[in-house]
Every structure is written in structure tokens, then in C-alpha cells.
Amino acid sequence: MIRFTLSLCLNYLVMLHLTLRQLKVFESVARNLSYSRAAEELHLTQPAVSMQIKQLEGNISLPLFEQMGKRVYLTEAGHELYRYSQIISQQLADMEVAMDELKGLERGKLNISVVSTANYFAPHLLAKFCQRYSGVTVSLNVSNRETVLKQLADNLIDLAIMGQPPENQDINSESFMENPLVIIAPPTHPLCKAHNIPVKKLAKEIFLVREQGSGTRGAMERFFDAHKIKINKGMETDTTEAIKQAVQAGMGLGIMSQHTAELELETNRLKILDVQGFPILRHWHIVNRKNKRLSGVARTFREFLLKEAPGLMSK
């Protein structure tokens, strides 16, 4: 069996007259099975992506994609090249990590994604980290849980911050901070004056919910299922911000991380209801792929979260 080192992979590129740019474009199209999504991901125009693929196919004299209707599929040659492109991409990523480690923390880069609900506190923690290590540059992506998990699976990021890590996946996950889920209401809601509210009393309320697949929605549904209560679902949205605005407008109640509503709670635009069984205590997790070689910057940021995040967020 041939062991594919970086030098061997690059030799094959030279022999086949391929460029790293062509391979990067191909890898993105193959992973997304979409020219338009690859163009968006690579910050290129769609014609530029198509041109790179045509040049690549011309160099190897084989078609790499076939289009049936509006869908794009990999050919047999495309599947083979995609497998090798992933090996080369991983080798190049490992080389970049090794170079960053030689530089220390003076010029390292951190590539991180966070679920949308974590965006209410993650920039604060990243700012504290960058103040301590001024030479570090950060690439921050904010997406829903499904997208962040795909970025991890595709090896596009170093680390991810999320509420509920997936089960049975090849990842490392450690909790670094409590994540209390609370029920929020507009200050004029009658239940704002009540204490120790029985859960069954919520059966008559309308709840504004996050999209399917959201960790917050999953925790909410598990809680009410355990209490054998079928809640009335109103508006469904993929943003916490929309739920906060809708609750303030009196459209219903919401369940969300207390961290995401700190400003509205401080300014008395929202209230937390005192309901039995709440808050639902969850945790924020820092996650990475098990087989990924983390740079010194990524390892240091992970340790920073585990040791200091709770104290920084309580100030």
C-alpha cells in the first residue's frame, strides 16, 4: 500500500499538470455538489468555478461531473479524484498547522464556528483571548447546528461551540460553561407575577419555537414530552432574535438560553417566568474532530475556554 505523503501527492499533481487552485475548486464543488455553492464558499463567480473545472477535466482527459436536470453528480473519475483531493487537503492543513506551531502564538490563526445562540457571548470570549494573544487572527462563522456539524465533518474548521454535541460521531467534546434554558415572556404577561408555576399551566400558552434540528428546540420538546404535555406551537423561526422580538410583541412565550436574552432582561423588555423544572440546565461545549491535528492557537483557545470562560462571563 502506498503511503500518501504531502510530497508524493504534490508530485502527482505536477505529473498530471494540476494546480492546487484547481484542486481546491474541485474539492468544493464535489463536497457541495453545486457550482453556485462552491462559488459562494470560495468567493468566486460561478463562471470562474466552471472554468477551473473545465481546465481540470482537460488536463486529466476525463469528465469529473455529470449534470442530470438541476443536480450535479460525481463521475467515477470524480469520486476517485475527490478521495485524493481530501488527502492532499488534509496534508496541506497539517503543514499549515506545523508552520503555525513554529511561529508560536505570535502569528497563529484560529478558525472557529459557533451555533447562532452562542454568538451572543462567543465574540466577548474571543475578544478577551485576542487581547491576551494580540498576534492571533480569528475567522468566526456563525451558523445553525446542522451547518456547524457539516463544517466539522468536512474538516473546514478547527473548533466549534455548540450546546448539545452529536452522539456517535468521531469528535472530542468538553463542556466549559453552564447554559441555562429559561422561559421568557413580555413584562405584561399575567404569569410574570406568579411564582413556582406548575408546568401543566403552560399547556394553554403559545410557544414560539426554533427550527427542527435546533438544540434548544430538542431540549424543549424532551422536557414537555417527559411531563406529558403537548404545547401549542406558534411561529417557527431559525433565529433567536426573531423569537425575542415576537415575544416582546406579545405573540407567545419563548424558551432560550439565558445568555441570549441578557440585554432584554436587563432593560426590562423581557421577563423570565418562574416555572417548576426551569431553568433546564445544559452546557456549552467546545468541539473538534478526533483525528484533526489542532494548531497551538486552537489548543490554547480550547484550554482558555475550559479554564476561564465561566469566570469571564460572570463579570
CA atoms 167, 170, 172, 177: torsion sign:
negative
Q: Where are the beta strands (DSSP E) in 154-276?
A: 159-162, 171-185, 206-210, 232-237, 253-257, 271-272
Same-domain check for residues 120 and 49 = no
Quick check: 64 and 74 in contact, CB under 8 A?
Answer: yes
Element (H, E) at 138: strand 137-143
Residue pLDDT, tens place only, 85-102: 887 877 777 777 667 665
Question: pLDDT confidence of 21, banded at 50, 70, 90?
Answer: confident
Q: Which one is predicted more confidently, 1 or 300?
A: 300
Closest residue by Cα to residue 78 from 21, 10, 40, 23: 23
Same-domain check for residues 192 and 144 = no
Does 141 reside within a domain? yes
Does 253 reside within a domain? yes
Same-domain check for residues 167 and 297 = yes
In the chain, the percentage of residues whose pLDDT exceeds 70 is 90
Query: Per-residue pLDDT for 1 more than 50?
Result: no
Residue pLDDT, tens place only, 105-152: 556 788 999 998 898 899 999 999 999 888 888 999 998 888 898 888
Q: Which one is predicted more confidently, 184 or 92?
A: 184
> Mean pLDDT over residues 181-198, rounded?
95
Q: Is 258 helix (H, G, I), strand (E, B) or coil?
A: helix
pLDDT at 85: 83
Quick check: 272 and 211 in contact, CB under 8 A?
Answer: no
Residue pLDDT, tens place only, 242-255: 999 999 999 999 99
Query: Per-residue pLDDT for 10 more than 60?
Result: no
Same-domain check for residues 148 and 293 = yes
Cell of 141: 462563522
Quick check: 246 and 254 in contact, CB under 8 A?
Answer: yes
| Total domains present in the chain | 3
Does 1 reside within a domain? no
In the 8-state DSSP scheme, what is residue 276? T
Same-domain check for residues 184 and 273 = yes
Distance of CA 177 to the CA centre of its chain: 17
> Mean pLDDT over residues 72-96, rounded?
83
Same-domain check for residues 20 and 65 = yes
Query: Per-residue pLDDT for 155 more than 50?
Result: yes
Report d(CA 3, CA 1) in Å as an integer. Answer: 6
Element (H, E) at 142: strand 137-143
Contacts within 8 Å (CB) and 24+ apart, 74-81: 74/30, 74/33, 78/30, 81/26, 81/30
Report d(CA 160, CA 289) in Å as an integer. Answer: 10
Residue pLDDT, tens place only, 192-228: 999 999 999 999 899 999 988 788 888 899 999 999 9
Same-domain check for residues 197 and 232 = yes
End of a domain among 75, 101, 127?
101
Question: pLDDT confidence of 23, banded at 50, 70, 90?
Answer: confident
Virtual torsion, Cα 273, 275, 277, 280, nearest 10 deg: -10
> Mean pLDDT over residues 232-240, rounded?
89
Query: Per-residue pLDDT for 17 more than 80?
Result: no
Query: Per-residue pLDDT for 7 more than 60?
Result: no
Same-domain check for residues 201 and 267 = yes
- CATH classification at residue 74: 1.10.10.10
DSSP alpha helix (H) spans, the chain: 6-15, 20-32, 35-42, 46-60, 76-103, 122-132, 145-153, 215-226, 240-248, 262-266, 296-313
- CATH classification at residue 116: 3.40.190.10
pTM, whole model, 2 decimals?
0.65
Cell of 119: 454568538
Same-domain check for residues 144 and 292 = yes
Report d(CA 161, CA 310) in Å as an integer. Answer: 14
Domain that includes residue 273, residue range:
179-281
Query: Per-residue pLDDT for 3 more than 50?
Result: no
